Amino acid sequence: MKQMLKITAIIAVVASVISCSNKSTFYEQIIDMKGEQWNRDSVLIFEVPVTDTTTPYNILFCNRITGQYPYSNMYLFITITAPDHSHQTDTLECLLADKRGKWLGKGFGNIWSNNIVYKHNVVFPAKGSYTFYIEQAMRIENLEHVLDAGLKIEKAK
């Protein structure tokens, strides 16, 4: 039984990496959550170097949860700091299950992967380093059954 769980976990990790990457990906970083929980004070920080100010991009939030995740959604606070130190903060609701409780995204075994679009067709206005700060905003201290979370930026089609 333990060996089957290990094999399932390995396959899920490989499937997640493959599903979250392709040739149009400009940036991607996924951060593992220790103990399968995301603490309210744990802010994920992503430094994105931008040199192209003409190409439109889609910005996505990626996550993997287990089937025991207790909610149908996940709220996030996302702050972007531009090279000129200006910043923009948004709240993003990530729908993870439909009204009947069926998980959305791609699933394998008891693990569900989601790529939720945060912004479509973004053209970065200036070259330099953009910093993305992502924090869970679910009003609880530890959001349980979250395996990992990350940021993906891909060229818009």
Tokens 């953009």 label which residue? 130
Residue 153 is predicted with a pLDDT of 98
**CA nearest to 133, candidates 118, 151, 110, 112:** 151
Q: What angle do CA 52, 57, 58 make, to 5 degrees?
A: 155
**What pLDDT is attached to residue 13?**
47
Q: Where are the alpha helices (DSSP H) in the chain?
A: 2-19
Residue 42 structure tokens: 């744990």
The predicted pLDDT at position 17 comes to 47
Structural domain tally of the chain?
A: 1
- The series of mean pLDDT values per 10 residues for the chain, 157 residues long, is 51 48 84 96 97 97 97 98 97 96 94 97 97 96 97 96
Q: Residue 22: its pLDDT value, please? A: 55
Per-residue confidence (pLDDT) for residue 21, from 0 to 100: 47
Tell me what pLDDT residue 157 has: 87
Domain CATH code at residue 100: 2.60.120
Domain range for 125 is: 2-155
Q: Which structure tokens are listed for 134?
A: 């992502």
